[in-house]
Amino acid sequence: GAVVSQHPSRVICKSGTSVKIECRSLDFQATTMFWYRQFPKKSLMLMATSNEGSKATYEQGVEKDKFLINHASLTLSTLTVTSAHPEDSSFYICSASAVGGYTFGSGTRLTVV
Amino acid sequence: GENVEQHPSTLSVQEGDSAVIKCTYSDSASNYFPWYKQELGKGPQLIIDIRSNVGEKKDQRIAVTLNKTAKHFSLHITETQPEDSAVYFCAASGGFAQAGTALIFGKGTTLSVSS
């Protein structure tokens, strides 16, 4: 079945630095990828929708300059958390629509210290 | 946009009992309703889904029912086992075939199955 590989699974960074999270579709082409954020014991909140070759569409309240999304190819979408602060600490998950439904990455636990 | 409500937030059952989780959605255009199981520190795993052209779907101990008129759908787990303990999320979307249509999730239900 369709597989999305997400890396890294865990990352700890210092305040003020930037972190890049990658999601790759391994056996299919993902025209559209979705990025979610999940706080502990909370639901998955849609952050943005990225389409290959165009600018991402951000949900209301999500800072596009802080969460940079790039979808330069049909198999790779990246989320860069810029100038990270402790409040950006969260679980980030990507998803892609594929034949038969949606497939999710395994998530990235970001801790900003 | 779509809004998905999920109840209950927590559910405790004895092993062997049935568990039911209910969700309602707001957008009548939504036509795809998956259920996910999420274990701590992992991404959500699809357990069953249903499309708007059917009212019920079953896969062994798991079943999902959909009432389009009332805009609600439910997850039924029979003969629960301790390994069913996890957080379950319902979701809705306008359909995976529509490019750019994201899944919108309910708030989740923490299911605890005690032996």
pLDDT tens digits, residue range A44-90?
Answer: 999 999 988 888 999 999 999 999 999 888 899 999 999 999 999 99
Residue A39 touches partner B, C-beta closer than 8 Å: no
Q: How many CB atoms lie within 10 A of CB A40?
A: 8
> Which residues of B are less than 8 Å from A25 in CB distance?
none
Question: Which residues make Cβ contacts (< 8 Å) with residue A67, sequence separation at least 6?
Answer: A35, A47, A48, A58, A79, A80, A81, A82
Residue of B nearest to A106 (CA): B43
Asked if the Cβ–Cβ distance from B103 to A57 is below 8 Å, we say no
- Among residues B12, B13, B32, B9, the alpha carbon closest in space to that of B22 is found at B9
Of the partner residues B42, B107, B110, the one whose CB lies closest to the CB of residue A107: B42
A2 has a pLDDT exceeding 70:
yes
Between CA B65 and CA B54 the distance in angstroms is 9
B77 vs B98, higher pLDDT: B77
Distance CA A100, CA B95 (A): 10
Residue type, A21: I
Probe site for chain B from A7, A11, A43 (most B CB atoms < 10 A): A43
Residues B14-57: tens digit of each pLDDT: 999 999 999 999 999 899 999 999 998 889 999 999 998 889 99
To probe the interface with B, which of A21, A41, A44 has the most B CB atoms within 10 Å?
A: A44
**Which pLDDT belongs to residue A81?**
98
And the tokens for A15?
């305040």
Q: Does residue A101 carry a pLDDT above 90?
A: no
Which residue's structure tokens are 């708007």? B52
B3 to chain A: closest CA residue: A45
Angle at A36 between CA A30 and CA A41, to 5 degrees: 140
pLDDT digits (tens, 9 = 90+) for A8-35: 999 999 999 999 999 999 988 888 899 9
User: What residue of B is the nearest CA neighbor of A107?
Assistant: B43
Pairing outcome for strands A108-112 and A90-98: antiparallel
